[in-house]
A = this chain, B = another copy of it.
Amino acid sequence: MSARVLIVDDLYPNVRLLETKLSLEYFDVAVAMNGPDALAICEKGACDVVLLDVMMPGMDGFEVCRRLKSNPVTAHLPVVIVTALDQPADRLRGLDAGADDFLTKPIDDTALLTRVRSLVRLKAVTDELRSRALATREIGGPDPLALAAADTGEGARILLVEDRPSAIDRIGTALSQHHQVTVETDPHRALVRAPEGGFDLALVSLDLEGFDGLRLCSQIRSLERTRNMALIMIGEMHEKARITRGLDFGVNDYLLRPIDRNELIARVRTQVRRRRFSETLRGALQASMELAITDDLTGLHNRRYLDRHLGPVFGEAALQQKGLACLLLDIDRFKSINDTYGHEAGDEVLRAFAERIRQYVRPMDILARYGGEEIVMVVPGAELPDARAIAERIRERIEATPFAIDGGTRDIGVTVSVGVSVRRTTDTGPADLLKRADTALYRAKSSGRNRVEAAAA
C-alpha cells in the first residue's frame, strides 16, 4: 500500500538520504526536524508511519515515541526508530518506549522497506476500523481510542509454538511473569488450538522439526477465526529471507535467536497492545450498534428491535404452522408509584421488573420494553396453555416478592397485569397478535388488575 511516511531527524543529510529511498518506492514523504514538529504532524493525522531518529536536541526520539504511544490520537501509528546508536541498551530503550522496531544505521534498505511496507499494510486494515470507531464517540460513552491507548499490554493469552526444550523454558519463563503462556510443540495441533484458546498472540518458531513454521503463520493469518491474532516469528539470523517473506504476508514482528529476554518482553507487549487496540475498536463499534436496539433504562431490547424482528418471527411461525404467543406485561398503578415515591423509585421498580421477567426467557424469545411501564414477550412455538402458564408464573413471582426502592432501604409491593394472545391462522400480520394481547391486557386491568387475561386461540 502506498502511504505517508514521516521522517524525523535533525540532520538534513540523513533526511535527504531516507527521503530519496522512500520516494523512489512511491511513498509520500513528510519531514520533521525535531520532536515537537513530529508530534504536531502526527496529531494532525498527516502520516501513516514514523521513522524516528533518537539523538535530537530538545526532545529525543525515545520521548517522541513515548508521547506518540500514550496519546489516544496517535497511539496506532507504527514507529520505527532508525539510529546510529547500536548498544543493546539503546535498542531496548526504544522498544520499551513502544517502538515497533529499532533499526541501526547504516540501514539495510531491504530490511527498512520490508518493514515499512508490512507496517503500512497492517495499518491499512485497522485504519478502516479506526475511522468507523471514531464515529462512536458522537454517541457518547467511553472513548475507544483512549481505552486502547491506556492498555498496558500485560496479561495476554499467548500461544508458543516451539519444540526446542531450552527455548520453551527460556521464553516461557520470561513471558509467564506478564502473560499466560500455552506451549504447543506440534504445529498441527497448534493450528487446531489456535482458534480455540482465545489467544491474543502466537509466537511461532521457524525451525520446527520437520515443519515449516512460516506455513503455520500463513494459516493462522488466513483462517477466519484467527486472522486478527498477533503473530511473532522466532528465527535465526541466516533466515532473513524467510523472515522477510513472513512480514510480507502479514506476520507482525520477529525475534532472532539467541533471544534477548527484555527484547522479547518489549516486542510481545507492543504487539499485544496493537491487537487489543483493534479489539477495543471492534468492541466499541459492536456496542454502539447494540445501543440502537437497546432500552437504556432496563437493558432489554427496545421497541425498534421488536418492530423489526416480530415480522420475521411471525412469518416463520405462519410458514411452519407453529404456535406463537405474545404476552403484554404492565405494572399495576405505576403512575402512583412514581407520584408517591418519585421517579427514581419508579425507575428502580422498572429495572427490577425487567430483570425478573428476563429469567423466564429462552434465547429464541423476544423480550422488549414496549412503552413506559409495559414489556412485551414473544414466545415462538407456544400455544395458549403454555403462554398462560408462563404469564401466571411471572404474575405470581412479581406479587410474591416486594421490590426494593431508595437504594434498597425500603420495599414496596408491586403487581402486574398480563394480556396474552396466540397467533391465529386468520391473522394477517403481527399487528393482529399485538392488538389482541392489548385488548386482553385492558380486560385484566379493568377486572381488578394483578391478573392474567388471554384472548381466545
Contacts of A127 in B (CB 8 A): 125
Select which of B48, B135, B140 is within 8 A of A222 by beta carbon: B48
This protein's copies in its complex: 2
Q: Say whether B126 contacts A289, CB under 8 Å.
A: no
Residues A123-142 near B (CB distance < 8 A): 124-129, 132, 135-136, 138-141
Q: Say whether A286 contacts B222, CB under 8 Å.
A: no
Q: Say whether A1 contacts B289, CB under 8 Å.
A: no
Min C-beta distance of A251 to chain B, whole Å:
9
Cβ proximity bits A60-78 to B, threshold 8 Å, 1 near / 0 not: 0000000000000000000
Q: Say whether A218 contacts B26, CB under 8 Å.
A: yes
Contacts of A321 in B (CB 8 A): none
Q: Say whether B286 contacts A135, CB under 8 Å.
A: yes
Cβ proximity bits A28-55 to B, threshold 8 Å, 1 near / 0 not: 1000000000000000010010000000
| Residues A28 and B222 in contact in the complex (CB < 8 Å), given A140-B309, A250-B2, A289-B288 | yes
Would you call the interface of chain A mostly helix, strand, loop, or mixed?
Answer: helix
Q: Say whether A217 contacts B139, CB under 8 Å.
A: no
Min C-beta distance of A199 to chain B, whole Å:
17
A457 beta carbon closer than 8 Å to chain B? no
State in angstroms the CA–CA spacing of A140 and B289 once bound together: 11
A424 beta carbon closer than 8 Å to chain B? no
A249 beta carbon closer than 8 Å to chain B? yes
State in angstroms the CA–CA spacing of A1 and B117 once bound together: 11
Contacts of A250 in B (CB 8 A): 1-2, 124
Which residues of A does B touch, CB under 8 Å?
A: 1-4, 26-28, 45, 48, 121, 124-129, 132, 135-136, 138-141, 214-215, 217-219, 221-224, 245, 249-250, 282, 285-286, 288-289, 291-293, 296, 303-305, 307-309
27 A-B residue pairings within 8 Å (CB atoms): A1-B249, A2-B222, A2-B250, A28-B218, A45-B224, A48-B222, A124-B124, A124-B125, A125-B125, A125-B127, A125-B128, A132-B285, A135-B285, A138-B289, A139-B292, A139-B293, A139-B304, A139-B305, A140-B305, A140-B307, A140-B308, A141-B308, A285-B285, A289-B289, A289-B292, A292-B292, A296-B303
